[in-house]
Structure formats: C-alpha cells, structure tokens
A and B are shown apart, each in its own frame.
Chain A
C-alpha cells in the first residue's frame, strides 16, 4: 500500500485479556519496527524485524509481549494477559534498508486502553 497501515486504530480491552495488533508495512520495505508511546512520552523500542533474520526482541518489556512477521510482510504484536500499564499507543514503522538506512515511515498507531 501507499503507507503503513495499522489495525485496529483503537482497542479497549479488559485487564487479563489477550490482544493482537496488526501492521501492514509499505510494500518492499524489508525492515519493520514496533514502538510503544505512553501518554506524553517519547518512543520506546519494542522489536525489530529485518528480512529473514532473527528479530531483535531486546525492547520487549516482558514475556507477555511477542511479535511475528509472516512472509516478510504483515506483522502481529500480541500482548497476553494485558495489564493497565500496557495502555499506550503502539506504533509500527517500516523502512527500506539498502546499504544506508533511510527514514522510517510510521503508521498512525493503535491506541490500546486496558480497563
């Protein structure tokens, strides 16, 4: 597509439930990133996928968080047993990485509210 698409745009869930957030990157972009942004805060790195390489999971805050990327395209971020502190905007970005990195293109994010 023309941009990075994320769904749903908003998600309200009950504490303890699992949620799945989806990201469709720009076609041809080999790198995909997930970030978390709490209210009024900066961007917190979660996980990074590059081609067929093993993902960099160093930013995942706990083992309740996981992500996969199927076929080098769509990615799903899963949060199990959600907690109130998981409430945030989850941003996905993709980039073309060929020698030098170019800027990320971000989606509009999924606003997750855990009640």
Chain B
C-alpha cells in the first residue's frame, strides 16, 4: 500500500507483483507527459512519455495511462524487480512550451 514517508510518499511492493504509481496534474492545458525514474545518487532517467491524443502507451514492462477527464496519470510496472526501486516523478508540458513541470515524486520500494 501507500504511506506518507518523511518527504515523499512511498509505495512498497513485493518482488514480482505489479506496481501502480499515480500522479495528479493540475493544468488542463498540459498535452505532453513523461515519467522519470531516479535511482539513488543519479539524475532522473526518462522512462516513457505520452501525448494527450493518447490514453495509453506501453513500453517494456511499463505502461502509462492518461485520464484527461480527471487529470490523472499513472505508471504501471509489471513484475516489479528489485532494480525498479527508485523515486518516480511525473512531468507535464503545456502547449509546446519549453518547460516541464514536475510532480513531487513517489518512492517505490521492492521487497525481495
């Protein structure tokens, strides 16, 4: 389940289970969304993106779902592995502006 950690919300899952990380965005004009993964001591890494003309996009073991009606974005990780333990950020862009706005992040902890 989810719990509020010291600074970041934390999601703990068992190895092999599926993970769902959620993100709410506030700008209804946002039309481009990205998920980033940040491992300890490293910069955020691009995972997957989606444009607003889609509601689902799949990558390798990851799926991003976009619900524009409720301004909600989710990242699903299938068969979660210990290497997936990291902080995950969503980011949004509106109207081809040059800036991404980042969410606060969720820490994913995978228990062996």
Chain A residues at the B interface, C-beta cutoff of 8 Å = 4, 31, 33, 35, 39-43, 45, 48, 50, 56, 91, 93, 95, 97, 99-101, 103-109
Q: Is the CB of B98 within 8 A of A42?
A: no
Chain B residues at the A interface, C-beta cutoff of 8 Å = 5-8, 32, 34, 36, 41-46, 49, 89, 91, 93, 96-100, 102-105
What total of A-B pairs shows CB separation below 8 Å? Answer: 64
Q: Which B residues are in CB contact (< 8 Å) with A106?
A: 36, 43-45
Q: Which B residues are in CB contact (< 8 Å) with A41?
A: 7-8, 104-105
Question: In the complex, which residue of chain A has the Cβ closest to the Cβ of B5?
Answer: A40
Q: Is the CB of B96 within 8 A of A103?
A: no
Q: Is the CB of B44 within 8 A of A31?
A: no
Q: Which A residues are in CB contact (< 8 Å) with B34?
A: 103
Q: Which B residues are in CB contact (< 8 Å) with A101?
A: 32, 93, 96-100
Q: Which residue among B5, B8, B44, B49 has the maximum number of chain A CB atoms within 10 Å of its CB? A: B44
Smallest Cβ distance from B77 to chain A, in angstroms?
A: 18
Question: In the complex, which residue of chain B has the Cβ closest to the Cβ of A105?
Answer: B46
Q: Which B residues are in CB contact (< 8 Å) with A31?
A: 98
* CA of A108 to CA of B38, assembled, Å: 10
Q: Is the CB of A91 within 8 A of B98?
A: no
Cross-chain contact of B99 among A45, A99, A105, A107 (Cβ < 8 A): A45
Q: Is the CB of B98 within 8 A of A48?
A: yes
